[in-house]
Amino acid sequence: MTRLVPELCCRDLAASLRLYTEVFGFSQRYGRERFAFLDRDGAALMLEQLDAASWLLPGEGLGRGVNFQIEVDDLDTLTARARAAAVPVFRPLETVTYRTGDSAVTQRQIVLQDPDGYLLRFCDPAEDQPDRVVA
């Protein structure tokens, strides 16, 4: 059971669906007109074509103030595909250590931007020295 599935409004569902499946490695589990349910090794997202009935308040922008962290086993491959597809990079590939209470987690990560401004932080565990530490 997937316990949290964000639904992202899209200005161009077909373009977003191509990016998420061909570059980001998601599979479409099912779809219907103006909607797709995607999965990537247990990380699930819903994409919905933006219209007047969408879950968006008047005047709101898309993708503001949120990023989605998605753990992957093939970060280098995904990064190469994103570069080849000219996906906008919000934060370049880096190794970061995050404090988590009394311990810390170190991961490699890249933050990419989809066509609607949603930020996706793809990551994998790392043992390398971090480029930066987040206290």
Mean predicted confidence (pLDDT) in 47-60: 79
Instruction: Give dist(CA 124, CA 114) in Å, integer.
Output: 20
Band of pLDDT at residue 57, cut at 50, 70 and 90: low
Report pTM: 0.90
Q: How far is CA 90 from CA 23, 30, 35, 100, in A?
A: 16, 29, 26, 23
Mean pLDDT, the chain, as a whole number?
92
- pLDDT per position as a tens digit, 28-42: 999 999 999 999 999
pLDDT at site 132:
85
> Which domains, and CATH codes, for the chain?
7-52+62-134 (3.10.180.10)
